[in-house]
Each structure stands twice: as structure tokens, then as C-alpha cells.
Structure 1
């Protein structure tokens, strides 16, 4: 039996403003396998079904596994129109050629089609009208620019 593929429902586009990366160095020991990089989140915007802003104070805690692959673990807070707040934990993979990734690290633009950037966000909410964010799975796609990350998020139907 073949079940139907899930549908994608567009939920929001995020522009996440970022500061310069902080290099923590090569991490060692159990469960560690790369260069730890922390990228502060300084703000941003949310458009689509969700509308509002990305609050400053979050960060993307990356492990750079190789010169072609990074595991991302971003944590930040959204403030939606009307004042409701949503905590986001967004885990992602970003991979590309060694040359394209080196250009991203140097802050140079890279064609988004040349870099695989997919994410799986999860949400914590306090407002009852947003409970639907905790009752579905979400995926997204992204692109890294020198000063920001742009994401499109979709609910799996």
C-alpha cells in the first residue's frame, strides 16, 4: 500500500537578522564532532499567516561538521501582532560545495540553488489560538545572506 504524500501549507516567511559569528573552537569529547559556531540573532520580521517580528536575543548554535556540512540549532522568540509570543527551536542542515560554503562563511553571496538548506522548526506557545503550531509538524527551506537568514516555513498536511 502506498499512502499519499503529505501536502505543504505555507505558514510564514521569516527574515532573521544576524550578527557576526562567534567561533567557540573545535569541540572535543562525547557527542562532539566539529567546530562550534554561535551566531547571535538580532531581530527580524515574520510575514504570512503569522505576522510579527523576531525578537533580539536568540542564537543559532551550529556544529560545522566539515567544509561542506553544518548542523544548525537556532532558538529564538517571535512576537506576533497582538502581542502573543512564540518560542521557536529550528533544527536544520546546510550543505554545499566547499567553495560555496567558504563564500558563505566569508560573508559573500551564494546562489540559494547551490546550497541545500532545510529545517524542522518546532514551537512553544502560550496563547490558546496558537495551539495549532504545537499540533502539527513543520518543515522549511532557507537561504543564508551575509546579514540575515531567510526562511519559508510549511505545515505538513
Structure 2
């Protein structure tokens, strides 16, 4: 069956109009919202400095324990994890934290928490030394992922999370949010 050229042209015009309408009208769905889930307050040991490697200052900060509290999860932070950091020129710190949480019912939850911390180089240096810094003076965000056995905390694997960190002289406080 032969389609009239007018029908073909009209079809392309309609598709073109839809594509340009979608491109110019903004998002196709409402923006996601965040829902507070819990806070991790972790205590840290002094950093192990590796020095300058591949254009960045590499260091490891051992996690020594802590607490988990909030409406969606409560428990403790287990000792033995850590935060691998690379402090790069220009005020950027690349973060890769890995540690375990133990919920109040005994369930062990593995956390892999990559992210970035950015600020003026002088602020980054104060943070690296463990000095107190106003949390508004730097950007510290992560995208945590969880590994947990089937059961009451399996929802951690079925949600997307973002987190905001605050570095304190004695440790770190991280607020976890689900993306709804």
C-alpha cells in the first residue's frame, strides 16, 4: 500500500513538533523529592597518609565505630571500615567510604559511599587536619549503596539514596535521604 506524500510529511511534522515541545517545556515528570531516613555518626582514627600519588594526596581514614539513628534505621557503626580519600588540586576531595552498620536486630549492612567534598583549598586543608569548620563552608555529598541479606532491611537495596556529610574533629556525621 502506497502512503500519500502528504501523510508522510504530516507525520514527520507531528513528530518534530512533539520532540521540540518535549525539549523546550522542561522535565517530563515532577522532580524527585528527598525523605530523611537516618543519620550515621562515625568516629574516626587519625588518617594514614600515603602522600602524593597520581596528582593527588592519598589518605585512608579508619572508621572506629559510631551510631545509627533515625526513623528508618537504628543501630551501630562497626569498627573496621574506612574512607579512602584523594585530595586534588583546586579544593576537590574524592571520597570512597566502605563500612558496616549493625541494625538493632543484629542485621549487618554493608555501605559503599562514594562522593565529593569541595571547598576553597584553605578550607579543605583545615578539614584534612581535623580542625573545626562551618559545614556551610564546604560541599560534602555522597551517593550511598547498600548490600544486605533478604529481610527487613532489603528496602535499602531498592531505593536510591543521597547523603550530606559534616566533618567534625572527632568524626563525621552523615544524613541519609531516599530519593522519592
Q: TM-score, normalised by structure 1?
A: 0.93
The gaps in structure 1 that reach 5 residues or longer are none
Q: What residue number does 1:143 align with? A: 166
Please point out which of 18, 22, 27 is paired with 2:53.
27
Point out the structure with the larger strand share: 1
1:72-124 CA-to-partner distances (Å, cap 9, x unmatched) read 00000000001011000001100111121121122210000011000100000
**Helix, strand or coil at the partner of 1:128:** coil
Alignment of 1:13-92 (within 5 A): 13-28=39-54, 33-48=55-70, 49-66=72-89, 68-92=91-115
Asked whether the equivalents of residues 37 and 62 of structure 1 are also in contact (C-alpha less than 8 Å), the reply is yes
CA RMSD of aligned residues (A): 1.1
2: CA distance between counterparts of 1:114 and 1:88? Answer: 26
Which shifted more, 66-75 or 115-124? 66-75
Asked whether the equivalents of residues 26 and 34 of structure 1 are also in contact (C-alpha less than 8 Å), the reply is yes
1: CA distance between counterparts of 2:86 and 2:164? Answer: 19
1: CA distance between counterparts of 2:56 and 2:126? Answer: 19
The gaps in structure 2 that reach 5 residues or longer are 1-21
Aligned-residue offset at 1:43? 0.3
1: CA distance between counterparts of 2:76 and 2:133? Answer: 26
Aligned-residue offset at 1:67? 5.0
2: CA distance between counterparts of 1:103 and 1:7? Answer: 33
Q: TM-score, normalised by structure 2?
A: 0.82
Structure with bigger RCO (C-alpha 8 Å, 6+ apart):
1
1:129 aligns to 2:155 (yes or no): no
The runs of 4+ residues in structure 1 deviating greater than 2 Å are none
1:109 aligns to 2:132 (yes or no): yes
- Which structure would you say has the larger Rg? 2
Asked whether the equivalents of residues 84 and 127 of structure 1 are also in contact (C-alpha less than 8 Å), the reply is no
